């Protein structure tokens, strides 16, 4: 065997040339490149897993914060709604009371007429021409009472009841054989209710 110069080559020289013969670059680096690619791919997968985990944690945190805020908003809305409902009820109640008081003040003007008619009927004649006149007065009185009741004005009718300074006004006290002490023995002016409130206290005489 000869070398490139045409000179004979000994077996030792031939072995040396085979050892020093160039190896293709692709064969020299193929294994290290594959290893680096695998390592890099593993690192990317690890980083991707960490990134996804962080995103999940962030989303969970954001969701919890949103739920808390929604609960706060809902609670505030419910309180505001309840406060508005209470305010609306209070305004309606106050308006009703104002209208009731105004109506009561007007109706008080007619109570004096009712008192006069009631006094006239106390001594009404039972026969003769006066009887017909008394019957007409009584019809007018009953119509007036019916009209008052339609407006929510109810007479107290306190005769025989225990005297109550909150709804009765005592003109005098006197001894009585028919009533116990503290009972109303005579109604001088009838008292009236307007709803659950006193429109006018009853003027009465009380047993001592």
Q: What residue spans in the chain does CATH classification 2.30.22.10 cover? A: 154-208
Where are the extended beta strands (E) located within the chain?
Answer: 153-155, 168-174, 184-189, 192-194, 197-200, 202-207
pLDDT computed for residue 29 by the predictor: 44
> Hey, which residues does 207 pair with through a beta bridge?
174
Tens-binned pLDDT, residue by residue, of the chain (208 aa): 545 545 555 555 555 555 455 444 444 444 455 555 555 555 555 666 667 888 888 888 888 888 888 888 888 888 888 888 898 899 898 888 888 778 888 888 889 888 888 888 887 777 777 778 888 889 999 999 898 888 888 999 999 999 999 999 999 999 988 899 999 999 998 999 988 889 999 999 999 8
pLDDT computed for residue 18 by the predictor: 55
Residues 6 or more apart whose CB falls under 8 angstroms from that of 14 comprise: 1
Question: What is the chain's Cα-based Rg?
Answer: 56
> Please, what sign has the CA dihedral across residues 40, 42, 46, 52?
positive
- The hierarchical CATH code for the domain 154-208 is 2.30.22.10
pLDDT computed for residue 35 by the predictor: 55
Give the CA distances from residue 137 to residues 118, 155, 185, 189, in Å, rounded to whole numbers and listed in that order. Answer: 9, 19, 26, 18
pLDDT computed for residue 31 by the predictor: 47
Round to whole Å and give the CA distance between 202 and 118. Answer: 14
pLDDT cut 90: percent of the chain above it: 24
Q: What is the pTM of this model?
A: 0.54
Contact 205, 175 (CB under 8 A): no
Round to whole Å and give the CA distance between 103 and 21. Answer: 125
Start-to-end CA span in the chain (Å): 161
pLDDT computed for residue 42 by the predictor: 56
Contact 203, 165 (CB under 8 A): no
Question: Which spans in 123-189 are helix H?
Answer: 129-150
pLDDT computed for residue 126 by the predictor: 74
Round to whole Å and give the CA distance between 98 and 104. Answer: 10
């Amino acid at each position: 065997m000869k070398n490139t110069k045409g000179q004979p080559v000994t077996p030792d020289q031939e072995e040396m040339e085979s050892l020093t013969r160039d190896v293709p670059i692709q064969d020299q680096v193929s294994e290290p490149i594959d290893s680096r690619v695998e390592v890099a791919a593993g690192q990317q997968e690890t980083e991707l897993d960490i990134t996804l985990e962080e995103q999940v944690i962030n989303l969970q945190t954001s969701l919890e914060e949103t739920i808390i805020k929604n609960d706060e908003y809902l609670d505030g809305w419910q309180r505001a709604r309840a406060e508005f409902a209470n305010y609306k009820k209070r305004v309606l109640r106050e308006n009703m009371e104002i209208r009731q008081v105004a109506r009561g003040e007007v109706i008080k003007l007619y109570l004096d007429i009712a008192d006069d008619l009631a006094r006239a009927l106390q001594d009404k004649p039972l026969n003769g021409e006066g009887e017909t006149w008394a019957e007409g007065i009584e019809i007018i009185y009953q119509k007036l009472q019916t009209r008052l009741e339609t407006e929510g004005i109810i007479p107290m009718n306190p005769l025989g009841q225990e005297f109550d300074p909150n709804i009765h006004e005592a003109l005098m006290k006197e001894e009585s054989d028919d009533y116990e002490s503290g009972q109303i023995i005579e109604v001088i002016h009838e008292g009236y209710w307007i709803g659950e409130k006193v429109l006018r206290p009853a003027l009465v005489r009380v047993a001592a």
